[in-house]
Structure 1
Amino acid sequence: MPVTSPQTQNSATGTAPAAEPTLRTGTLGTSDIAFFVVSAAAPLTVMAGVAPFAIALGGIGAPVGYLLAGLTLAVFAVGFTTMSRHVRSAGAFYAYITRGLGSSVGIGAALLAMVGYNGMEIGVYGLLGTATQETLHALFGIDIPWLPVSLAGLVLIWYGGFRSIDFGAKLLGVLLCAETGILVLLAGGVLLKGGGHGLSLASFAPGNVFVPGTAVVLAFAFAAFTGFESTVIYRREARDPGRTVPRATYIAVAFLGLFYAFIVWTVIQAFGDAQVVKAAGTNPAELFFSAITTFVGGWAADLMHILIVTSVLASLLAFHNAINRYGLALAEEGVAPKSFGRVHAKHRSPYVAGLAQTAVGAVVVTGFWAAGADPYAQLLLWVNTPGMIGLMLLQLLAAIAVPFYFRRITHQEGVLRTVVAPIAATVLLSVATVLVCTHIDLFTGATTVVNIVLIAVAPAVFVLGLGLAWRLRRTKPDVFERFAAEPDAEAETV
């Protein structure tokens, strides 16, 4: 008697084989995706932790630096979002780059994206440890080691990524409202009381903007937007992705650019144009806490300490979710381990990719601890910096890819969107990348040798990716040819 397969038995009984679970489609709206993106940028942490250095080194014209960075990325978003209406692949950056510049460059970009996003997330566990230490010491006089905090954070973030994407969106929405709310409270207090020495618009005067320190401000400002482009990673889980993804991208860029500039300006007003640069240079870590204590109250400073910790957690969760979806997409491409493509039956999350990412994070964090490294100066800055440069290079490659892509297809998009804006973005992003790399010592505080190594990581990873592409072309030509191919239209709407 012949033995029948399960598939044959299902056909004989009229039942279809059980389908593998997939990501939950049609779940995320524009605001949900925007929450993920803005949370990744960690506005409160960027403002309280980084903006004082921008003021100290760039002067009172610092708010304009954030506006210029936002404008540059808005120009980039024009071509990027136009292409998003045509490219339905799940791989975000690498899919766009592949369609414009070919599979070899796309595979190099895919490896760069994985390393870049992991660098942006894993380094922040050092910040979580130090921020929690400082908060507990400031509020309760308690001193704790940083490693248990960072490891606990790894578990919390793993759980947040393990749960459904709508759970993550709701959680990030609450955390983001809290961290932006405390900054709005600070701004309101400063404006209502007329600032420390009256309100002034001198920050926007050309004489205060076009100064040597502006290059430094721009370097800090571009770094403050890192991760905004991750909107397209959630395409498969978005409602009406052709509209939702572009809207979320523009909202994220506009919000961050305007919000950063406004908050930095209000803090300048809190101390006065003549005094703020000295205050920021003397004690940058206390600039925002001092301002909110003076104009709102000590209780608000205590709350800000707590919300910096939740801001860091929100950023970690946002990057973790993005990394998991990159891992899932690469598993589907046949480049990453097949297990990374498994989706949880109940939560519809890429849980194996999440476990792998958490394991990598745990190894890096404990490795830095075992080496006696400083969690902020080394774990955060030395791991974060190559990740930031990697994501900036990805933005640059994506901008270059746009006009090449539209030359290859028949379309009805205008020249402004497909040629002019992408070329302008390429020039502007090239300048931004050079600014960041030439002022890298301001980010790391490290020696010249260390800085050279940190800058070299991203291009080295990209070259390794090109080597992987060459190997795949020889050993797995079918995987190479199908890389970042368009999904079936029917599959996307399931």
Structure 2
Amino acid sequence: MSVTTPEERTPSTAATLRSGSLGTADIAFFVVSAAAPLTVMAGVAPLAILLGGIGAPAGYLIAGITLAVFAVGFTTMSRHVKSGGAFYAYITRGLGRPVGIGAALLALIGYNGMEIGVYGLLGSATRDTVHALFGTDVPWLPIALAGLLVIGYGGYRSVDFGAKVLGVLLVAETGILLLLAGGVLVKGGAHGLSGASFAPDHVLVSGTAVVLAFAFAAFTGFESTVIYRREARDPERTVPRATYVAVGFLGLFYAFVAWVVIQAFGDQQVIAAAAKDPGGLFFSAITTFVGGWAADLMHVFIVTSVLASLLAFHNAINRYTLALAEEGVLPKALGRIHPRHRSPYVAGIAQTALGAVVVTGFWAAGADPYGQLLLWVNTPGMIGLFVLQLLAAVAVPCYFRRVAHQEGALRTVVAPVVATVLLATAIGLVVTHIDLFTGASDAVNSVLIGLAPAVFVVGLGLAWWLRRKRPEVYAAFADEPAGQSTHQP
């Protein structure tokens, strides 16, 4: 059987990704947009407050601190591992090729799950927005399919085009939340401003575990900064900076906005308000403190927030697919780069087609776009990315034990070990509260939880097959920066 060697994977005359296109802010836009701050706040924070109490803002800070600790070892390793394969390359270097190949498959499935499920949210959010603004009911499938085409086009264009689009959309969604915050702060809240949300007696309660589960989920995708290192300017500096900017911004912004909406109703009244209408909590607050016109804008910006998240994940998936095609693990055609836009356009077309199949399949089965397409597809993807974060944290000290380096023990041992413990705790919180994420039966939840480990085991099987049938591909897996040794700008 013929094999593809690293030198044969892509001809030296082939187009390459557009190097030097992205600065710190550009990469941060991709990462923060993937998290969809407005959607997370308006759609999920009310549930965190309802189930966890007024200490919910502190939960977002705790999650942010945990992921900042993870980022210490993660970004330190990014200076030594140049691959565009991000997670799987790091894990391969630290834990070996079988685990790395398992991680690669899990990353591919995980990121696809995180994106494709969100087309259900796009359909339901747009439907709700149209109904709220015009009183008209529209079907969700055409909206989702139109979104697939729009996002596919965004991924087809150059990466700097995507960064500019995400910059505009991110300013819109954060701006409307800051407008709400300004209204609440200027008017002094419903009953004055209070710092009780950060008091120990409100943070150290049983409900905090639920808040932390929601909070960790709100950061999903932040680690994708390293996927863009081949297109970054001065990646040794840009990628770590973008990672810390994204984590710091999300942690502080989530905590601040959650605190603001509590002040809009009052410490004693907000839980009752969230119980009465969790989906309307933010809309009610901005109507009261800014005006109905701002609530209408918020409806619109939730749709654009979802689109921004979809485009960010679509770009990340395309680059993972590109890296694996260049590795020889996926078909070579998926590694083609557009000669003018310098984008992994074939990977993007394949991802769009996969999304269309899944979305249409759920519609044909009569599934609810939010309760089933979003939650059932998104949740295993989220768990898969959490597992990848955990494996990457474990890989950091293992890698630095085997190579000569000048990095300090705090970055290479202490921070990764602490992050491993904290991330394992986060996974435990999410899994034990999985019903809050899915609203599904125990049987369905068991399947959703089991998908990530099942995919990883399939990946181990793929590693075994590659070692026997395609030894050159197996031996070269994640050894060199994907494509950089053979591509010329």
The corresponding residue for 1:55 is 49
Following the alignment from structure 2 to structure 1, what is the Cα–Cα distance between the partners of residues 452 and 12? Answer: 42
Contact 2:30–2:312 (CA under 8 A) maintained in structure 1: yes
TM-score by length of 2: 0.97
Distance 1:419 1:480, change over 3 A: same
The CA deviation at 1:60 is 0.3
Q: Gaps spanning 5+ residues in structure 2: where?
A: 1-10
Contact 2:431–2:449 (CA under 8 A) maintained in structure 1: yes
Once the two structures are superposed, residues 158-202 of structure 1 have per-residue CA deviations (whole angstroms, 9 ceiling, x without a partner) of 000000000000000000000000000000100000000110000
The CA deviation at 1:490 is 6.4
Contact 2:12–2:488 (CA under 8 A) maintained in structure 1: no
Following the alignment from structure 2 to structure 1, what is the Cα–Cα distance between the partners of residues 49 and 417? Answer: 31
Contact 2:58–2:198 (CA under 8 A) maintained in structure 1: yes
Contact 2:19–2:230 (CA under 8 A) maintained in structure 1: yes
The corresponding residue for 1:398 is 392
Following the alignment from structure 2 to structure 1, what is the Cα–Cα distance between the partners of residues 353 and 484? Answer: 35
Letter in 2 for 1:67: L
The corresponding residue for 2:89 is 95
List aligned pairs for 1:308-457, cutoff 5 A: 308-457=302-451
> In structure 2, which of residues 226, 229, 234 is the aligned counterpart of residue 235 of structure 1?
229
List aligned pairs for 1:229-308, cutoff 5 A: 229-308=223-302
The CA deviation at 1:486 is 2.1
The CA deviation at 1:63 is 0.3
The CA deviation at 1:292 is 0.2
Letter in 2 for 1:118: N
List aligned pairs for 1:162-177, cutoff 5 A: 162-177=156-171
Following the alignment from structure 1 to structure 2, what is the Cα–Cα distance between the partners of residues 129 and 139? Answer: 16
> Per the alignment, in what secondary structure is the counterpart of residue 89 of structure 1?
coil
Letter in 2 for 1:446: A
The CA deviation at 1:123 is 0.2
Following the alignment from structure 1 to structure 2, what is the Cα–Cα distance between the partners of residues 306 and 231? Answer: 28
Following the alignment from structure 2 to structure 1, what is the Cα–Cα distance between the partners of residues 395 and 453? Answer: 18
Distance 1:336 1:489, change over 3 A: closer
Following the alignment from structure 1 to structure 2, what is the Cα–Cα distance between the partners of residues 404 and 360? Answer: 36
> In structure 2, which of residues 113, 117, 122 is the aligned counterpart of residue 128 of structure 1?
122
Following the alignment from structure 2 to structure 1, what is the Cα–Cα distance between the partners of residues 275 and 430? Answer: 20
The corresponding residue for 2:202 is 208
**Residue 30 (structure 1) aligned with residue 11 (structure 2):** no
Letter in 2 for 1:422: P
Contact 1:232–1:245 (CA under 8 A) maintained in structure 2: yes
> In structure 1, which of residues 83, 103, 114 is the aligned counterpart of residue 108 of structure 2?
114
**Residue 484 (structure 1) aligned with residue 478 (structure 2):** yes
Distance 1:489 1:330, change over 3 A: closer
Following the alignment from structure 1 to structure 2, what is the Cα–Cα distance between the partners of residues 491 and 119? Answer: 32
After the TM superposition, which segments of 4 or more aligned residues of structure 1 sit over 6 Å from their partners? none
Letter in 1 for 2:456: F
The corresponding residue for 1:463 is 457
Distance 1:260 1:159, change over 3 A: same
Following the alignment from structure 1 to structure 2, what is the Cα–Cα distance between the partners of residues 466 and 392? Answer: 18
Contact 1:160–1:317 (CA under 8 A) maintained in structure 2: yes
TM-score by length of 1: 0.96
Following the alignment from structure 1 to structure 2, what is the Cα–Cα distance between the partners of residues 340 and 173? Answer: 28
The CA deviation at 1:142 is 1.2
Letter in 2 for 1:32: D
Once the two structures are superposed, residues 41-86 of structure 1 have per-residue CA deviations (whole angstroms, 9 ceiling, x without a partner) of 0000000000000000000000000000000000000000000000
Following the alignment from structure 2 to structure 1, what is the Cα–Cα distance between the partners of residues 319 and 83? Answer: 12
The CA deviation at 1:282 is 1.4
The corresponding residue for 1:160 is 154
Contact 1:100–1:403 (CA under 8 A) maintained in structure 2: yes
Residue identity (%): 78
Once the two structures are superposed, residues 219-268 of structure 1 have per-residue CA deviations (whole angstroms, 9 ceiling, x without a partner) of 00000000000000000000000000000000000000000000000000
List aligned pairs for 1:13-28, cutoff 5 A: 19-28=13-22
Letter in 2 for 1:382: W
The CA deviation at 1:354 is 0.3
State the Cα RMSD in Å: 1.1
Contact 1:74–1:250 (CA under 8 A) maintained in structure 2: yes
Following the alignment from structure 1 to structure 2, what is the Cα–Cα distance between the partners of residues 18 and 239? Answer: 22
Following the alignment from structure 1 to structure 2, what is the Cα–Cα distance between the partners of residues 96 and 490? Answer: 18
Following the alignment from structure 1 to structure 2, what is the Cα–Cα distance between the partners of residues 493 and 77? Answer: 31
Following the alignment from structure 1 to structure 2, what is the Cα–Cα distance between the partners of residues 347 and 123? Answer: 27
Following the alignment from structure 1 to structure 2, what is the Cα–Cα distance between the partners of residues 268 and 207? Answer: 16
Contact 1:236–1:492 (CA under 8 A) maintained in structure 2: no
**Residue 183 (structure 1) aligned with residue 177 (structure 2):** yes
Following the alignment from structure 2 to structure 1, what is the Cα–Cα distance between the partners of residues 84 and 266? Answer: 48
Contact 1:199–1:269 (CA under 8 A) maintained in structure 2: yes
